[in-house]
Amino acid sequence: MSSRCSCTAASKLPTLAVARAQPSPIGFFPRPFSTTATVHTRPSRFSSSPSSSSSSSSSSSSSSSSSSSIPIAQNQYPPESPHWLPVPKARQSQASEVKPARVKGVLPTPRPIFTDRREVDRRVQPGYLAKTAPLPTSESATRPVRPGSVLDVRRRLAASRRENLAAGLQGLWRRRTEHQSRLRAASATRNETNRLRALAPEREDDLLTRSSVLLRPTAEHTAVLPDPDRFDRAAASRARTAELARRRAEARRDALTALYMSAGDFIVEEDHLAAEIDRVFAPDYFTKQAKSYATDASSAWDVWGAPPTLSRLVAASARPGQEFDSVDHDRTVKRQKTIAEDLTGGKMD
């Protein structure tokens, strides 16, 4: 039952008859989702006599003649085409509208013809055409010829070229003149419109919707009184300026004093530089520096200790949970030095 049902749809499709002389329809490739099937017959490899081929051809011709009344499929697109499956179009779709053909390529930029600044219309004058395409002056060129001959055709072509050249130059000049006239007219109109808009009075809606409405007579007759406290403000400004000048002078004096105090350690002679190098790079330098700390000092860590860690620096700046009786020797020394400098008014070593 199932095999019969599966073959029912295929048996109803209009197909071409295949010759029985061929054992297998090698060229039979039906199109999917279509109502017709095409049979491509090929000569069989198993045919042993020309009679079989003739019988197959006769049967094929008879079958093709019998199937001539079968309607051909409307969809004639290849499988890779998007129109392979017929999809109904919506009524409001624009797919059925006639679209203009797309013209490929770019038109070349026209060559400027009238480029002479001193004489722009030189190419449209009568003398230019006479110089560019002069008429023949030889006796053989003015001799009459037989109509339809080669010379007659050449003469008519030359006359046509002269006429086309004159008409083309006149047309280009006319188009150039009209284009420039339109540009000048548009520019004049635009300039006049801008001038009228610039000189137009202010509209009433703009006047009434502004943040402050000041009419012309009110603005002209409004007096601006001087500030009664202007002298006091000037005196305060002079005092501030004098204070800033005093601070700058004091800062400059402190900088010069610090430079003078630091200049005592500057090395300005070669003998002094050599002696300082011998002192710093001596083998027992750290031992001499650590007399009051240790006797076996061999590096800077033994003299001044290890460098402070990041956590120690953060704790020293924030000072969280520090006791009141704790003492920081370095910070105390710096504080005492700063206080002494403020009291004496100068830098200290």
Where in the chain are the domains? Answer: 2-64, 122-134+150-198, 269-319
pLDDT value for 292: 52
> Minimal CA–CA distance to 38: which of 5, 76, 6, 84?
76
CA atoms within 13 A on the CB side of 69: 2
The residue that leads in pLDDT, 184 or 115, is 184
Q: Do 19 and 52 meet the contact criterion of CB atoms below 8 Å apart?
A: no
Strand stretches in the chain, DSSP E: none
145: number of Cβ within 10 Å: 14
Q: How far apart are CA 83 and CA 77, in angstroms?
A: 7
pLDDT value for 190: 97
Q: Do 40 and 64 meet the contact criterion of CB atoms below 8 Å apart?
A: no
Q: Do 162 and 129 meet the contact criterion of CB atoms below 8 Å apart?
A: yes
Question: 57-73 b/e with 16+ CB inside 10 Å = b?
Answer: eebbeebeeeeeeeeee
With a cut of 80, say whether residue 245 has pLDDT above it: yes
pLDDT value for 216: 61
With a cut of 70, say whether residue 23 has pLDDT above it: no
The residue that leads in pLDDT, 5 or 164, is 164
pLDDT value for 310: 92
Q: First-to-last CA distance in the chain?
A: 118
Could you read off the pLDDT of 263-311 as tens digits, one per residue?
888 998 999 999 999 999 988 888 887 655 556 778 888 888 888 899 8
Percent of the chain with pLDDT over 90: 26
With a cut of 80, say whether residue 317 has pLDDT above it: no
> Minimal CA–CA distance to 346: which of 242, 249, 250, 247?
250
pLDDT class for 215, splitting at 50, 70, 90? low
